[in-house]
A and B are shown apart, each in its own frame.
Chain A
């Protein structure tokens, strides 16, 4: 075990862990208000490290819907993780074996994926495990605290803490978009598509999770067809 790599991963994961704490705090409070115990809510968070999926899953549980509905909801809301895992799989290369992959898959969230892809150095198992440590701790602990404390924190502070996650996404996307016009094109396309799915009638009725998948596939697909990347750029990416 390379502890230097692990520590690097842990420090990169710190802001995500802090952001997750506030998001999952809200989830814990929400679950308790709907009749789920704080400990059950914590179990849901620990076994499902995904925010949108949690809220959708909670809705299905509270409605006492069928298991098929649960499977379908999670497939739709979380389908973007298949794309992320596929991209991460390519990025990790063949040096990372089967067993670590089973573990890494468990916590391949939007933010951890983003941090892993943003790393310039090659990805290693200790780095990935370090990256996942604080987000999982923050995620689980946040749900427990949120569930136990109910809604003690004012909503405005919770919302402000939740915005940190968006701030991190922006910090990841903007610098490469500034220097690489092809990435900028993908970003602008995704902006247009996601705006359409939010404000255009009919399109806005599509569920948030599915809309993200459609926007991603459309923007990345158009750019891949019209602006295929060069071999050198690929090696650096």
Chain B
């Protein structure tokens, strides 16, 4: 089977999942439960995607944990999105550099 058939199928499935709720459910939802549910969805979803995945996304659980802690502290102090993102990234590099120097990480 041509690879383009796969790519088309993949793209169509992903697009339909996104476009149907965006075009069909356009009227405000009256149900208080459903509205509360939708209010909580982004926080629940982003949290579930970040933790514990961040711990296993780098070469060592220590550098992943460092990224997590640095990001939480800076976000808690109200730092901007880009500062939090770059700092957590820098934390990974610094911790992994230290781990390599001390021989913990190959």
Contact = CB atoms under 8 A, between A and B. Distances in A.
Interface string A96-127: 00100110111010100110010000000000
Nearest to A189: B44
B53 A160 contact: no
B104 interface: no
A219 interface: yes
Interface of A: 12, 14-15, 19, 36, 40, 43-44, 47-48, 50, 53, 57, 60-61, 64, 67, 70-71, 74-75, 78-90, 93-94, 98, 101-102, 104-106, 108, 110, 113-114, 117, 155-157, 159-178, 182-183, 186-187, 189-191, 193-195, 198-199, 208, 211-212, 215-216, 219-221, 223-225, 227-229, 233-234, 237
B10 A70 contact: yes
B23 interface: yes
Which of A67, A171, A183, A237 gathers most chain B CB within 10 Å?
A171
A171 B22 contact: no
A164 B41 contact: no
Interface of B: 1, 3, 5-11, 13-15, 17-23, 25-29, 32-54, 57-59, 63-64, 67-68, 71-72, 74-76, 78-82, 84-90, 92-93, 96
Given A102-B23, A167-B84, A171-B81, A194 B40 contact: no
A87 B25 CA distance: 10
Contacts of B82: 14-15
Contacts, number: 288
A156 B93 contact: yes
Contacts of A160: 58, 63, 89-90, 92-93, 96
A220 B45 CA distance: 9
A144 to B, nearest CB: 15
A155 to B, nearest CB: 7
A234 B40 contact: no
B14 A187 contact: no
Tell me whether chain A's interface is mostly helix, strand or loop, or mixed: helix
Contact of B96 (A82, A88, A156): A156
21 contacts: A19-B85, A40-B3, A70-B13, A83-B21, A83-B41, A83-B45, A86-B22, A89-B21, A89-B25, A106-B15, A163-B58, A164-B85, A164-B88, A171-B84, A173-B46, A178-B76, A189-B44, A190-B44, A190-B48, A219-B40, A234-B35
Contact of B32 (A19, A64, A220, A228): A228
B46 A159 contact: no
A221 B36 CA distance: 8
B84 A187 contact: no
Contacts of B92: 156, 159-160, 163
